[in-house]
Every structure is written in structure tokens, then in C-alpha cells.
Amino acid sequence: MIESLKSLKRVVAGIAALSLILITGCSLNSDPGVGTLQVKLHDNAADYEEVNILVERVDVNNTSGDDGWQTISEPNETYNILELINGQFELIANAQLEAGIYEQIRLVVSRDQNTVVKDGQSYGLFVPSGAETGVKLNINAEIEEGIQYVLLLDFDAEKSVVETGAADNPGFILQPVIRATPEAISGNIGGTVSPVEANAAVYAITGFNTPEADTLSTTYADEVTGEFLLVGLEEGTYTVSADANSYGPVSVENVEVTIGETNDVGTIELGTAQ
């Protein structure tokens, strides 16, 4: 691999390894009975130029009901989530919390200040009525005294943006699909796709070629280097698939993901251009 991918892998693997150490007992300087929760946002690739999401706030809940919700961050910032691929993250919360089990997290986005750009045209991206209370995810995060817990939120733009109306007069709604994974129990898959100019999409798939097949992470190979990094994957076996317009798809099966490590699959050569 070229040096830039090695550096990228070292950074991501180092962060994951540090988080694993922290979760398993290395103390941070903090108040008695208090730990830290960091929430990082990243994205799966999608066939748009931009998907701009205004994140209003982040809440967590340490009860099984609705009485335990508390706000831990109010970014009120817009993120083009399509930039958050290949190991790029946005830190959207960094809060000290009382030690305990936090069963849920809620990401609240703007109802009417999101946009999507397709074919050079910007469109409003609206959250349907009834979804304004935010996206709730079960996380069962154990916050321990003096320990930093890092949670990755994978915002799946491809599944979240729903096109409505006719092709010549499109409209869009936002129905967020998000996957939460503790960084300390995840690993990554890296590599390169050739030819670089293909700008290939790369997928990490479980249950490949079965009815239970599920794509758990997607990215685009870098348009300059061809490098890719699929992050936030739970330990297990995956198929890495790459395809691009005018090229035949290629799959690499039985790719193992190990906690805190990046598995380099080398160079994936796409099929002959059609």
C-alpha cells in the first residue's frame, strides 16, 4: 500500500486501540463517579453530490422509559455527510456523564433545513411529520468512572434519502437510517481499487449471495489514490465488493475483521471496462 493509506490506517487503528484500552480500565482525569461519552458521525456512500444534514442536538437516556432523557450536545451545525467516508468523522458530542448504563441515544435533526444535491441542483430534504422527535437507537452503553466511551454513528445516506415525485420533478424526504457501534469493539477493512479513475463504490457485506445478505458499510474509493477504508465493523467475516459504471464488479470473500485492527485486502482489480 502507498504511504498515505498506511498513515490513515495507523490513525484509525490507533484510535480504536486507544478506545479499547480505555473501555477496559485505563483511567482518565475526571470527577468521581463520572465518565466520558464521545459520539462520532460518519457515513455510507450515496449517489448524490451532497447530503447536508443539520444536527440540532444529541440526547441520551439512562432509563427504560422517557424520564431519563438528557441533552449532551447541541451542535446546531450542518454536515455534508458524504464527506464523512474513508475514516473521516465529525465529533458531535463529547460529554461527561454519571457512571451507569445508557440504554438509548437520540439524534435530532432539523425538519426543514436539510438539503440534497443531485445533478448539480439543490433540493430541500424534509423530515416527515411524526419523525421530528429524532432517531432513537438502542446502545446499552456502560459509562464507567474515569473511562472514555466512543460511539460511532453510521448515517446511511443511500437508505436515508428517499426520492419522491417524477424523475423530471423530483422531491426528497429524509428518513434517517443510522447504525450505532462502539468503537472499542469494531475494526476496519482497507485497500485500493484499480483503475483509480473508475471512482468505484466499495461495500462490506455479510451473508453474501444469500437471502440474508446485508451491506453494513459503504464507501467510495478515493478518486486520486484509489484507496478506501470501511470503518466501524463488528468482528466477523465479510465479503468486500467493488463496482463502478462501465466496469465489471469484483468481490473478495472471507475477509476477517478483528477488533482494533485494519485488515488490508490489497488492490482490487475491477473487471474489464465495458
Q: Cα separation of 157 and 245, whole Å? A: 20
Indicate the domain borders of the chain: 31-176, 186-269
Tell me whether residue 174 is exposed, middle or buried, using C-beta atoms within 10 angstroms of its C-beta: 0 to 12, 13 to 18, 19 or more. buried
Report the distance separating Cα 169 and Cα 191, nearest Å: 39
Q: What 3-state DSSP class applies to 160?
A: helix
- pTM to 2 decimal places: 0.82
Query: Cα separation of 70 and 72, whole Å?
Result: 6
Q: How many CB atoms lie within 10 A of CB 98?
A: 13
Other Cβ atoms less than 10 A from the Cβ of 231: the count is 28
Domain 186-269, architecture per CATH: Sandwich (2.60)
**Distance (Å) of CA 230 to CA 60, 179, 205, 241:** 27, 14, 11, 11
DSSP bridge partners of 46: none
Instruction: Per-residue pLDDT tens, the chain, 274 aa: give them.
Output: 444 444 444 444 444 443 433 333 344 445 679 999 999 999 988 999 999 999 999 999 998 888 899 999 999 999 999 999 999 999 999 999 999 999 999 999 999 999 999 999 999 999 986 555 789 999 999 999 999 999 999 999 999 999 997 777 789 999 999 999 999 999 999 999 999 999 999 999 999 999 999 999 999 999 999 999 999 999 999 999 999 988 989 999 999 999 999 999 999 999 877 6
The CB density around residue 93, as the number of other CB atoms within 10 Å, is 23
Q: Could you say which DSSP state residue 270 is in?
A: P
What's the start-to-end Cα distance of the chain, in Å?
Answer: 27
How far is the C-alpha of 231 from the C-alpha of 238, rounded, in Å? 13
- As given in the structure block, the three cell numbers for residue 142 are 456502560
Which one-letter amino acid corresponds to residue 38?
Q
Measured CA to CA, the distance from residue 179 to residue 79 in angstroms comes to 17
